[in-house]
Structure 1
Amino acid sequence: MNIYPAIDLYEGAAVRLFQGNYNQMTVYADNPVHTAADFKEQGSSFLHLVDLEGAKKGISSNFNTIKDIVEKANLFTQLGGGIRDMATVEKYLSIGVNRIILGTSAITDKSFLMDAVEKYGDRIAVGIDIKDEKVAIKGWTELSSHSCDDFCKEMQNIGIKTIICTDISKDGAMEGTNLNLYRKLSKTYSVDIIASGGISSLEDIKALTAMKLSGAIVGKALYTGTFSLASAIETAKE
């Protein structure tokens, strides 16, 4: 299982939200380029980037910061947050982003999603963020009418190869991840599943690895020093 250390960007800084609440934001690093370089030094080959302003407003507010991170860190980078048209997809792919994560637009603009998948194949992933058993959109500020299961099934049928699934109630809470959710998804769908939200111990990593998930995104636990990135990577190899 691959470990994706996370950098969530807001106004050019690396931050974390508590359960997606923009009013409960902690700034962890003023220079996220250095943060990405540190992840690489600890042995990471992967990076998960989120443009929080983009997710909320649908604009690429952190483009220059993302460009610097991608160019200097030289990691396999997946990026989500406010990517809602083909021009933005192509802009990010052109600077070296390896995989684009579509969230809000995967629900609100199916024709765009299908065009992107047809053109770029497995370089397009979908982020499914769950709150009260519904898929949340627009930076987790609104709930759609889609259930997790229905939406996963639809994405698999469209041809999506990778789904990043977040239980918003677990995100940033440091209370453990939703193992039952990922166990169910891994058994039900043939797509690659990447777990996100609440991963707060090496035991979480071990459990997710045993499910043979494609990957796990780790954020707050790294920033607070709960465990090291190197130990997470090693645990995920076992």
Structure 2
Amino acid sequence: MQVIPAIDLRGGRCVRLVQGDYDRETVFGEDPAAMAEHWVAEGATRLHLVDLDGAKLGRPANVESVRAILDRVDVPCQLGGGVRDEATLAAWLDAGLERVIVGTQALKDPAWFATMAERYPGRLILGLDAKDGRVATAGWLDVSSVEATGLAEGFDALPLAAIIYTDIARDGMLEGPNIEATGALADRLETPVIASGGVSTLDDLGRLATLPVAGVIVGRALYDGRFRLSEARERAGDRT
């Protein structure tokens, strides 16, 4: 199971939110590119980038910060937040991102998302953010009536790189990941699942590693120093 450090971008800074709440923000660095270099030096083999402003606005916002990261690290990077059309998707891929994450637009226009997945095989990730089992969109500001599992199953036959499953209630809370929901989703899908939200201890990583998941995104626990990235990778069996 690959351990993927998260770098959340807001206003050109590296931040973390609690449960996706834009009013509950902690700033962890003024230079996201330097933070990216730090995680790579610590052993990261992939980085997860989130354009928080973009997710809220529906268009890319932290473009310069993302470009700076891509210029300064040589590991694959994936990014979500504000990707609502093909022009944006293609621009990010051309900029050097290995994978682009789409969430809101996949729910709003499933046919479009399916077309994009076929057009860019292995380059798209479905961002599946859920609250009480329902899909949340627009930077988690809106919760739909669509069941997360059903949406994922509907896209399972597409040539996606992965599906990232985030339980919003756990994100940034350091209460442990939703093992039951994550495992149930991974068991029902052929597409690789990446877990996200709530990891706070090495034991959390050990429990996730028993599930059929391909990776885990870790944010606040790393920034708070609850464990080192090298320790996380060892517990997760990350040999990437």
Normalising by structure 1, report the TM-score. Answer: 0.97
Question: Is the aligned partner of 1:19 residue 2:19?
Answer: yes
In 1, distance between residues paired with 2:161 and 2:46? 17
Query: Bigger shift: 30-39 or 146-155?
Result: 146-155
Partner of 2:51: 51
Alignment gaps of 5+ in structure 2: none
Partner of 2:172: 172
Question: Is the aligned partner of 1:130 residue 2:157?
Answer: no
Secondary structure of 1:157's partner?
Answer: coil
Q: CA deviation at 1:221?
A: 0.2
Q: CA deviation at 1:110?
A: 2.1
Q: Percent identity between the aligned chains?
A: 39
Contact 2:123 2:160 in 1 (8 A): no
Partner of 1:193: 193
Partner of 2:224: 224
In 1, distance between residues paired with 2:147 and 2:31? 37
Partner of 1:63: 63
Partner of 2:93: 93
Normalising by structure 2, report the TM-score. Answer: 0.96
Contact 1:86 1:112 in 2 (8 A): no
Write the letter of the residue equivalent to 1:217: I
Q: CA deviation at 1:149?
A: 1.6
Write the letter of the residue equivalent to 1:207: R
Q: CA deviation at 1:159?
A: 4.2
Write the letter of the residue equivalent to 2:206: K
Secondary structure of 1:169's partner?
Answer: coil
Partner of 2:148: 148
CA RMSD of aligned residues (A): 1.1
Q: CA deviation at 1:161?
A: 4.2
Contact 1:134 1:146 in 2 (8 A): yes
Q: Deviations over 1:178-209 (max 9, x none)?
A: 11111111211111000000011111111111
Write the letter of the residue equivalent to 1:6: A
Contact 1:166 1:196 in 2 (8 A): yes
- Structure 1 stretches of 4+ with a deviation exceeding 6 A read none
Secondary structure of 1:88's partner?
Answer: helix
In 2, distance between residues paired with 1:137 and 1:151? 13
Partner of 2:102: 102
Q: CA deviation at 1:212?
A: 3.0
Secondary structure of 1:140's partner?
Answer: coil
Write the letter of the residue equivalent to 1:155: F
In 1, distance between residues paired with 2:210 and 2:194? 13
